Structure 1
Amino acid sequence: MLKNRIATLLLISIVSVTSNAQTKAIYQDNTKPVKDRVEDALSRMTLEEKIAMIHAQSKFSSPGVPRLGIPENWMTDGPHGIRPETLWDEWDQANWTNDSCIAFPALTALAATWNKDMSLLYGKSIGEEARYRNKNVLLGPGVNIYRSPLNGRNFEYMGEDPFLTSKMVVPYIQGVQSNGVAACVKHFALNNQETNRHTVNVVVDDRALYEIYLPAFKAAVQEGDTWTIMGAYNRYKDQQACHNQYLLNDILKGEWAFEGTVIADWGGVNNTKEAIFNGMDLEFGTWTDGLSQGTKNAYDSYFLAQPYLKMIQSGEVGTKELDDKVRRVLRLSFLTTMAKDRPLGSFGTEEHALAGRKIAEEGIVLLQNKNNILPINLSKTKKVAVIGENAIKMMTVGGGSSSLKAKYEISPLDGLKNRIGSEAEVMYARGYVGDASTDYNGVNSGQNLAEKRSAQELKDEALKIAKEADIVIFVGGLNKSDFQDSEGHDRKSLGLPYNQDQLITDLLKVNKNLVFVNISGNAVAMPWVNQVPGIVQGWFLGTEGGNALASVLVGDVNPSGKLTFTFPARLEDNGAHAIGEFPGSKDVNYTESIFVGYRWTEIKKIKPLFAFGHGLSYTTFQYGKVTADKTNMGQSDKISFSVKVKNTGKRDGFEVVQLYISDLKSYLPRPVKELKEFEKVFLKAGEEKTVTFTVNKTALSFFDDKKHEWVAEPGDFEAIVGASSADIKSKVKFTLK
């Protein structure tokens, strides 16, 4: 009898489950295509639910549809770590005790690895941190082009070259989104200065737009399949970028067929009608204090909230555009919060810290190494003088929306002490006072950088320990204070702040064995460059930054980073400044057109301080002659180029082999050469490998703005292999028929 009853209950249970499965709404069924689920959910929503879904409900969240069980969307800054929790309706910190993240290196450092595997590791790791904190949109990465070394936000971007940025952004997106967290690539588009960023109107020709400023976004959409894009603050064609017919409708959703969600930068929406018709999907951060304004819910006053609802109800506008916006937001939900088998993520782990360290080590760039001053020879070094505020100042705090509450941060001084403290005496002197503040946006670093001593006393102390030392490591550069590397402000000059140049000059008088470590996301002037034997680009390296830097300085890691932007010797050697168009006030005219970065210095025959793609190693590499697999290329053909590279030194190391293409004759002006492929190859001491690049006509094409199409013009070309844009090893000619 008992067996019969159990069998009957099991049968009833199976029938019940089967029945429920048959009646489950399509939008709830993970086995159905996302498009079908979106349409089903849309058909069940009320007008009011649709309106609610396309604007924020708090500083960092937007509503779902509670009645249908569709969760809220929760955003977080990136792009270098997961922002600490803020109060629901204010920018103040929520003062959680479990939201201290791993700070990853700034994106300038990631791009300087020239390693797509590092980009994938970065995206996967930061995506795991976002997922664990239940954020389904990571506001990053940033891919705006480095037009001027004074842009305060350059440290969040990936450099001056559209091809390099395009190749580095795709794995980052894929890594993030493998966690069921959407990447939000920003800021679309032409956001190349912080001065007057909400009002400036960019005037740029279509060639520059398509060849320089759009390729990384296009790759993010068509190769990376990014689920969201963030609009920019600036204007283009006198329309706000966050509701811009040309950028969002014509190009992003038209030419590129973007199916994802366009999210406003915080405060980027300015007009209801334009936001309805010009491509904006999800409004965040419109300037209001929210609930503190005294209204029941100030978010209902957003441009895409009650004002939009009233226009529909009055018949002034229809619902076609609204349904498109909601479809896109629903798609985001089904790919993230309602996706099947999303991983759980992890947060603040040793694994993530070590991933960040590995990326940092590969991104550090050895710019100059006269007399092989580096790596530090510990067998002959008894005293090391570390000088500079940046050797101790926390750099994970500050700089704008990328400011973080890091679980910990290893300073350059502590990194060196950790590594060599038992082998040599490490002495420290501050040398100068740059910024003693320790609080930014409610996050306090916990440091006490208050200084009572005079500038002369600080200088005297620095000179004293420098004189006693075998080697001086000067850790200087910029910081994340206003008018340096900081959102909302551009730099005022190319020179180092806080009188560092004079201090470096004085230190050289007492000890010529000096290494300058530049902590920054930007190029700086170096008037003493010929006197300082060692120069290292140290970036903002995150949680494990000091350990990573020490590992390179002592030679545990062979440096392999390469510059992603040109260091000009003078500010006027940069194209935007040569033409006097940075920063703009009302209009900013990009009359340098496609000639940005190395494209400008080469066409003008200007010698840079350090060239794009430059970076030294503790070993040496020998290049063979580049060869082509054929001399002629048809319109649909591909052509391959091969070059042998040998490690001729005594250390194992990476080399970044760079392929540039030169169009020898064109009916439109073209750069001297352009990066079109690269490969980071590891070679043991004495080892030789053949590096092969394959390109098609896309690599030969330019954008004809009169025809509004890409053109591969028949004629002669050169394939150029180099260790940088200035260090050319070999060339070979070929013809496009």
Structure 2
Amino acid sequence: MRKAYNNASKIFKVLILAAMLRVSGAYAQSSIPAYLDDSKPVKERVEDALKRMTLQEKIAMIHAQSKFSSPGVKHLGIPENWTTDGPHGIRPEVLWDEWSQAGWTNDSCMAFPALTCLAATWNKDMAMLYGKSLGEEARYRNKNILLGPGINIYRSPLNGRNFEYMGEDPFLSSKMVVPYIKGVQQNGVAACVKHFALNNSEGNRNTVNVNVDDRTLYEIYLPAFKAAVEEGGAWAIMGSYNLYKGQHCCHNEYLLNNILKKEWGFEGVVISDWGGVHDTRQAIFNGLDMEFGSWTNGLSQGKSNAYDSYYLADPYIKLINSGEVGTKELDDKVRRILRLSFLTTMNKNRPFGSFATKEHALAARTIAEEGIVLLKNQGSVLPINLNRTKRIAVIGENAIKMMTVGGGSSSLKAEYEISPLDGIRKRVGTQAEVVYARGYVGDTTGNYNGVNTGQNLADKRSASELMTEAINVAKKADVVIYIGGLNKSDHQDAEGADRESLNLPYNQDQLIAQLAKANKNLVVVNISGNAVAMPWVNQVPAIMQGWFLGSEAGNALAAVLVGDVNPSGKLTFTFPVKLTDNGAHALNAFPGTKDEVTYKEGIYVGYRWADKHNIKPLFAFGHGLSYTTFQYGKVTADKKAMSSSDKITFSVNVKNTGLRDGEDVVQLYISDLKSSLPRPIKELKGFEKVFLKAGEQKTVTFTIDKAALSFFEPTKHEWVAEPGNFEALIGASSAAIKTKTAFTLN
């Protein structure tokens, strides 16, 4: 029976091959075309396919045919390319030429935590899990380009899109983005890393020209993108909306040709942000490969098909036919897109993926739990002891408001979303009574691009009535959990607009202060992707940073609040006491004018600025507490001096001195004690998340080479490690250095 089945299978394969040869016009040939032969190198297959394409087919391939797709090559059997938002989950299907929903009933995805939360895990394994899970969801929906991750640097706490990024430090972002990319791409889905580059504010993002010196560009704003290309092997990069050196970044000679493709050797596809292209000639010559999203309101240009009027469509053909431009640049663009196709849709070993599964729910919850940051915990408020607690008051709109809908292109149609209130009630069960009070009314809407939460959050009571109710509920409770912060509304955590203030909206600061007076056992959970001011910080015993946690938000928060999970997240950006404690704002350099912004603070971003000016932050970069305690031994080096071709290893013993198992993130900073150019007091150059049982101790090691000691020398346009004295500093945050040792670079 098995032999007969195998013979039948062979006959079937022969028939299929014969059909393929007929379609390609190569029936009489003794072998299949090279581009269909997956035993041949990808470059050879690309060249074979390229020579079989007409000019019209090449032009069609380099621009969109719908909101989210571009053509393949029908007569060669090369499929279309289908992109999808976004970095936190797979966007629902929309109509061909509109943003409106397509009305599918099977496109509800798993919502993963925002990338601020992922980065706050400081765990490269979590980044791999995230990318793998998200890639599986994209693959299941037959998307071959995922528009993410975002890795722009957190320059100001007012940037509305910070929640989509990985924080203020280029080293941390670099180390977290690489496994994310590899996880996505192992599913035959290209990660499209964005937004390249200098997209560090949302206001005026389409018109502002960013002025930044080369050293700052290379040391702060490029390293994560470089790691994405050279270490992550990203198959696609998305240009940003803003300008740099007077050119829009989607067709920017310096960024795309000089740096990305020449210096870094990027072989992938440069994709425009939607509507980010402005000039045909610049798009031809300055490094752009695929144009998406111009005229994204559909067909309002009055053409029968607006896509044929894209900058890289008919206008390009006219220039070629008139002899004004050649086809060298066109062929390079098509080569890159064909390469992407052979790595994704034309890859016979591409897995099938999976969608909104229990496994993905577990991944989302695990990442959320690891990313939650315990900022403050005085006394015995946290974890909540259910054996001694009879009544828990949950207060705040964010305890009930869905956060997966809204905020821009990362908005999702989630399979489900467990609210913090529901998660707490589910976990507490009958062990304690859980009472809810609204406290304030913020954003009652729940609709974005036709995805509706179905929530009715309307409340006609006055602010004073809501506050009075909340205070009365708080007075009668054993523990109060306030869940507030920001939401996905415009001018909060949302694409397209920046925040207007560091303070919490909707009069929450006054409400929290009153709750602190009403009940000494108050926990404030801040849901946001940004730092916020906390004028009540000294009145509140326990504070937690909750992020936007996705489908499993409520379950994850509840697990940490009651101690099922010991918090281990660490901040990836500095919480300033006031806005002017941030360098960009201290120098009045954010957001700039409509047309210009200058990064006056230079390399002194985040903790680098705080260190330089001896500013004590509200909460430092790398800060995060645990329900246990950790003790650091003395750091040692395997040598006191190293050469420029050498490496040096530092070791430190870390012990869990508490009663609970837990994880800590051991952080290595390097300080250059004397340099020809000004340098930050210290810079992150290593980190390791270590799990320790109660009473257990482990030795953590870091090995560095001269790259960790280098700075970018703009006059030489190269990285330089100057001989001299350095210090290695080991800490639990940038402001909690536990031990240090000196060494020399000869």
1:13 to partner: Cα distance: 9.5
1:289 to partner: Cα distance: 3.5
Counterpart pick for 2:519 among 506, 511, 526: 511
Distance 1:683 1:8 in 2: 57
Distance 2:42 2:718 in 1: 33
SS in 1 for 2:733: coil
Which residues in structure 2 correspond to 1:677-692 (within 5 Å)?
Answer: 677-692=686-701
SS in 2 for 1:290: coil
CA contact (8 A) 2:274 2:296 kept: no
Counterpart pick for 2:31 among 20, 23, 41: 23
Distance 2:335 2:220 in 1: 31
Q: 1:36 to 1:368 in 2, by over 3 A?
A: same
SS in 1 for 2:650: strand
Q: 1:38 to 1:417 in 2, by over 3 A?
A: same
Counterpart pick for 2:265 among 247, 257, 269: 257
1:450 to partner: Cα distance: 0.9
Distance 1:91 1:404 in 2: 13
1:295 to partner: Cα distance: 2.2
Q: Which stretch shifts more, 165-174 or 280-289?
A: 280-289
CA contact (8 A) 1:665 1:716 kept: yes
Give the letter aligned to residue 423 of structure 2. G
Partner residue of 2:672? Answer: 663
Which residues in structure 2 correspond to 1:180-329 (within 5 Å)?
Answer: 180-291=188-299, 293-329=301-337
1:7 to partner: Cα distance: 11
Residue 621 of structure 2 corresponds to residue 615 of structure 1: no
Distance 1:39 1:189 in 2: 31
SS in 2 for 1:252: helix
Tell me the alpha carbon deviations over residues 599-620 of structure 1, each in whole angstroms, 9 at most, x when there is no partner: 0000010000000000000000
Report the TM-score when normalising by structure 2: 0.97
1:693 to partner: Cα distance: 0.4
SS in 2 for 1:532: coil
Distance 1:465 1:364 in 2: 26
Gaps of 5+ in 1: 1-5
Distance 1:13 1:71 in 2: 21
Distance 1:717 1:493 in 2: 39
Partner residue of 2:438? Answer: 430
Distance 1:408 1:483 in 2: 26
Distance 2:393 2:639 in 1: 56
Distance 1:12 1:343 in 2: 22
Q: 1:10 to 1:231 in 2, by over 3 A?
A: closer
Counterpart pick for 1:604 among 613, 616, 625: 613
1:14 to partner: Cα distance: 7.3
CA contact (8 A) 2:67 2:296 kept: no
Give the letter aligned to residue 181 of structure 1. V
SS in 2 for 1:723: strand
Partner residue of 1:364? Answer: 372
Distance 1:31 1:369 in 2: 59
Counterpart pick for 1:389 among 385, 394, 397: 397
Q: 1:31 to 1:509 in 2, by over 3 A?
A: same
Partner residue of 2:3? Answer: none
Tell me the alpha carbon deviations over residues 454-479 of structure 1, each in whole angstroms, 9 at most, x when there is no partner: 11211111011100001110000000
Tell me the alpha carbon deviations over residues 73-120 of structure 1, each in whole angstroms, 9 at most, x when there is no partner: 000001000000000000001111000000000000000000000000
Partner residue of 2:129? Answer: 121
CA contact (8 A) 1:202 1:588 kept: yes
Distance 2:591 2:198 in 1: 13
Give the letter aligned to residue 643 of structure 1. V
CA contact (8 A) 2:98 2:296 kept: no
SS in 2 for 1:682: strand
1:344 to partner: Cα distance: 0.3
Distance 1:363 1:417 in 2: 22
Give the letter aligned to residue 733 of structure 1. A
Give the letter aligned to residue 521 of structure 2. N
Counterpart pick for 1:439 among 442, 447, 457: 447
Q: 1:273 to 1:375 in 2, by over 3 A?
A: same
CA contact (8 A) 1:290 1:297 kept: no
Q: 1:342 to 1:640 in 2, by over 3 A?
A: same
Give the letter aligned to residue 494 of structure 2. S
Residue 493 of structure 2 corresponds to residue 471 of structure 1: no
Partner residue of 1:402? Answer: 410
CA contact (8 A) 2:583 2:606 kept: yes
Q: Which stretch shifts more, 154-163 or 29-38?
A: 29-38
Give the letter aligned to residue 610 of structure 2. T
CA contact (8 A) 2:170 2:221 kept: yes
CA contact (8 A) 1:290 1:299 kept: no
Q: 1:179 to 1:511 in 2, by over 3 A?
A: same
Distance 2:388 2:15 in 1: 81
Tell me the alpha carbon deviations over residues 496-518 of structure 1, each in whole angstroms, 9 at most, x when there is no partner: 00000000111112112111000
CA contact (8 A) 1:51 1:305 kept: yes
Q: 1:623 to 1:13 in 2, by over 3 A?
A: closer
Distance 1:337 1:7 in 2: 29
Partner residue of 2:24? Answer: none
Tell me the alpha carbon deviations over residues 555-614 of structure 1, each in whole angstroms, 9 at most, x when there is no partner: 000000000000000000000000101001211010100000000000010000000000
Q: 1:353 to 1:11 in 2, by over 3 A?
A: closer
Q: Which stretch shifts more, 6-15 or 717-726?
A: 6-15
Q: 1:429 to 1:638 in 2, by over 3 A?
A: same
Distance 1:356 1:51 in 2: 40
Counterpart pick for 1:137 among 145, 166, 169: 145
Counterpart pick for 2:712 among 685, 697, 703: 703
Distance 2:240 2:693 in 1: 45
Q: 1:22 to 1:113 in 2, by over 3 A?
A: farther
Counterpart pick for 2:65 among 45, 54, 57: 57
Partner residue of 1:546? Answer: 554
CA contact (8 A) 1:150 1:493 kept: yes
SS in 1 for 2:664: strand
Give the letter aligned to residue 657 of structure 1. V
Q: 1:17 to 1:337 in 2, by over 3 A?
A: closer
Distance 2:371 2:11 in 1: 62
Partner residue of 2:162? Answer: 154
Give the letter aligned to residue 121 of structure 1. L
> How many matched pairs?
733
Give the letter aligned to residue 696 of structure 1. D
Distance 2:700 2:11 in 1: 64
Distance 2:627 2:197 in 1: 39
Give the letter aligned to residue 692 of structure 1. T
Seq. identity, %: 76
Distance 2:108 2:11 in 1: 51
Give the letter aligned to residue 116 of structure 1. K
Give the letter aligned to residue 649 of structure 2. S
Partner residue of 2:357? Answer: 349
Counterpart pick for 1:714 among 720, 723, 727: 723
SS in 2 for 1:640: strand
Distance 1:451 1:8 in 2: 68
CA contact (8 A) 2:168 2:572 kept: yes
Kindly report structure 1 stretches of 4+ aligned residues shifted beyond 3 Å. Answer: 6-22, 288-294
Give the letter aligned to residue 637 of structure 2. A
RMSD over equivalenced CA pairs, Å: 1.8
1:336 to partner: Cα distance: 0.4
SS in 2 for 1:371: coil
Partner residue of 1:588? Answer: 597
1:372 to partner: Cα distance: 2.8
